[in-house]
Amino acid sequence: MNIEPDTEICVCNSLSVADIAKLIKEKNLKTLEDILENNETPIGDKCEACHDEGYHNDGLNIPMVLSMVKSGRL
């Protein structure tokens, strides 16, 4: 699956794949818990759909972005 960098993942905070990947890299975040506990840039703190099924129930979520960063695809 090819996902565009501007695809919105955290709709409640208007964060795209690129935004989340940048934060993961800059803050050296390793787990979903690290991302959610990050106080500087709120991610996944409102509706929480981006934690698992995705906002549009499409499976595009924060753990997917984390995995793509870890594997070097982002």
pLDDT in tens, 21-71: 999 999 999 999 999 999 889 999 999 999 999 998 999 999 999 999 999
Measured CA to CA, the distance from residue 6 to residue 41 in angstroms comes to 17
The answer as to whether 2 is a domain residue is no
**What CA–CA distance (Å, rounded) separates 44 from 7?**
15
Global pTM value: 0.93
What residues pair up with 10 in beta bridges, in sequence order? 15
Main-chain dihedrals φ then ψ at residue 69, nearest 5 degrees = -65, -45
Do the Cβ atoms of 9 and 44 come closer than 8 Å?
no
Q: Which domain holds residue 42?
A: 8-70
In a domain, 56, yes or no: yes
State the Cα–Cα distance between residues 72 and 74, nearest whole angstrom: 5
47: in domain: yes
Asked whether residue 3 is assigned to any structural domain, the reply reads no
When divided into structural domains, the chain yields a total of 1
What number of residues does the chain have?
Answer: 74
